[in-house]
């Protein structure tokens, strides 16, 4: 079972010791990962050349989730933990941990109003969630979860410093951190987590980008990164859902009242949100392609794991795999569903994002090969001249 569901079942409280903090951070990694296939599906099911604004917004949020996942991995590494991708969600629909019990399961949906409702469920700000009775015993939002981590990190580090002799919870190897060198283009820069200050900054980035800072609709990117102010995830999605931009004076609880957006829901490939590989048995070719997609997805996860485990130089292999997934998923969406009854409903095929032990094992073998290749430059057919940027550092 995944760490995040285990945690979500216990009472709402902050981690009491470093091993438990590591569990929380592993859960954070899982939470961030959970959202990625959901956004990928919403984005790549848009027909090319249409819904450009919505595509851009989903893309920007997706990239920020990747940033969050990487920062969560840096946090985990910094406190001496080791990320474990085998606990990632392996199939959809999946439950959103730490959320209000009324939030339905997260499904992979094509670009549609229903998909946007799912996105909004994922990104709902903490302050929008009604208080859970008098005694706050259960989790009600992901923001609350990060708040628990923040307080845990602060208190545990404080306690460590007060020991005699003073110590720290940040015992990870600094060189194992993923830095801006390897990660770019995505909702600000990844930075190394080396102490309390950077740890708190990382947590702030993760929770503010999602939910909006201090109850305004703006996140705090401009403060931290000096970037253009952009509306936080929830509000960016709400704009698409409502088909309007937020105006200058809109508040978190008001509906967007700005200019209309060019949203055309019909320009998407409708898919079956419950699709599984087995549904494709009528078409060997389509099934092969859908399986290939999942194997590539497993490779990506496995290479990411390596980057979390001190091989951040492998990050440049992640992008080509993402690109492969992009192209493969778009080909699937554009194909009619192979099941005649479903095709008659106008449904299309879709990647299922199912992970298995076997696929993960194959993915890890692939990642090991990549490591071996960087250590044996002569194996490159280019012939001995390996550009400096491919060398580990």
Residues forming contacts to another protein in the complex (CB under 8 A) are 47-50, 52, 56, 60, 63-64, 180-181, 184-189, 221, 227-228, 230, 266-267, 270, 284-286, 289, 316, 319-320, 322-323, 326-327, 330-332, 334-336, 343-346, 380-385, 387-390
CA angle 203, 302, 381 (to 5 degrees): 125
CB of 298 to another protein, least distance (A): 19
CB of 385 to another protein, least distance (A): 5
Residue 169, φ and ψ in degrees, nearest 5: -85, -10
CB of 113 to another protein, least distance (A): 14
Contact 170, 195 (CB under 8 A): yes
CB of 345 to another protein, least distance (A): 7
Diameter of the chain measured on Cα atoms: 72
Q: Which is nearer to another protein, 48 or 104 (CB)?
A: 48
Contact 348, 271 (CB under 8 A): yes
Distance separating alpha carbons of residues 362 and 18, to the nearest angstrom: 32
Q: Which is nearer to another protein, 82 or 287 (CB)?
A: 287
3-state helix, strand, coil in the chain (%, to 5): 55, 5, 40
Structure tokens at 171: 């015992």
Q: Which is nearer to another protein, 345 or 361 (CB)?
A: 345
Distance separating alpha carbons of residues 211 and 229, to the nearest angstrom: 14
Q: Which is nearer to another protein, 47 or 151 (CB)?
A: 47
Q: Which is nearer to another protein, 23 or 244 (CB)?
A: 244
Q: Which is nearer to another protein, 106 or 190 (CB)?
A: 190
CB of 238 to another protein, least distance (A): 19
CB of 78 to another protein, least distance (A): 20
Residues 333-367 as b or e (16 or more Cβ within 10 Å = b): bebbbbbeebeeeebbbbbbbbbeeebbeebbebb
């Amino acid at each position: 079972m995944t760490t995040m569901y285990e945690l979500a079942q216990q009472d709402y409280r902050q981690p009491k010791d470093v091993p438990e903090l590591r569990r929380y951070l592993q859960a954070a990694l899982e939470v961030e990962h959970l959202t990625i296939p959901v956004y990928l599906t919403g984005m790549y099911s848009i027909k090319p050349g249409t819904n450009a604004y919505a595509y851009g917004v989903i893309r920007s949020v997706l990239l920020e989730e990747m940033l969050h996942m990487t920062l969560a991995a840096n946090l985990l590494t910094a406190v001496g933990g080791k990320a474990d991708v085998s606990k990632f969600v392996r199939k959809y629909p999946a439950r959103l941990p730490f959320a209000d019990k009324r939030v339905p399961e997260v499904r992979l949906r094509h670009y549609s109003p229903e998909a946007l409702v799912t996105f909004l469920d994922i990104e709902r700000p903490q302050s929008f969630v009604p208080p859970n009775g008098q005694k706050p015993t259960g989790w009600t939002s992901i923001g609350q979860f990060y708040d628990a981590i923040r307080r845990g990190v602060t208190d545990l580090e404080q306690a460590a410093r007060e020991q005699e002799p003073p110590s720290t919870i940040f015992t990870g190897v600094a060189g194992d951190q993923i830095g801006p060198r390897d990660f770019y283009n995505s909702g600000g820069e990844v930075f190394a987590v080396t102490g309390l200050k950077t740890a708190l900054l990382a947590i702030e980035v993760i929770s503010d980008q999602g939910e909006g800072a201090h109850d305004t609709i703006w996140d705090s990117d401009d403060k931290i990164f000096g970037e253009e102010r952009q509306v936080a995830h929830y509000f960016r999605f709400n704009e698409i859902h409502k088909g309007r931009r937020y105006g200058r004076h809109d508040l978190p609880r008001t509906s967007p009242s700005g200019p209309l957006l060019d949203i055309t829901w019909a320009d998407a490939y409708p898919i079956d949100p419950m699709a599984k590989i087995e549904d494709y048995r009528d078409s060997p070719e389509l099934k092969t392609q859908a399986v290939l997609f999942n194997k590539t997805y497993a490779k990506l996860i496995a290479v990411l794991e390596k980057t979390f485990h001190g091989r951040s130089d492998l990050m440049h292999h992640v992008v080509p795999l993402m690109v492969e997934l992009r192209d493969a998923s778009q080909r699937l969406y554009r194909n009619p569903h192979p099941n005649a009854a479903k095709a008659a409903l106008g449904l299309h095929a879709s990647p299922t994002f199912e992970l298995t032990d076997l696929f993960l094992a194959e993915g890890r073998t692939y990642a090991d090969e990549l490591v071996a290749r960087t250590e044996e430059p002569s194996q490159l057919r280019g012939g001995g001249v390996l550009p400096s940027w491919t060398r580990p550092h």
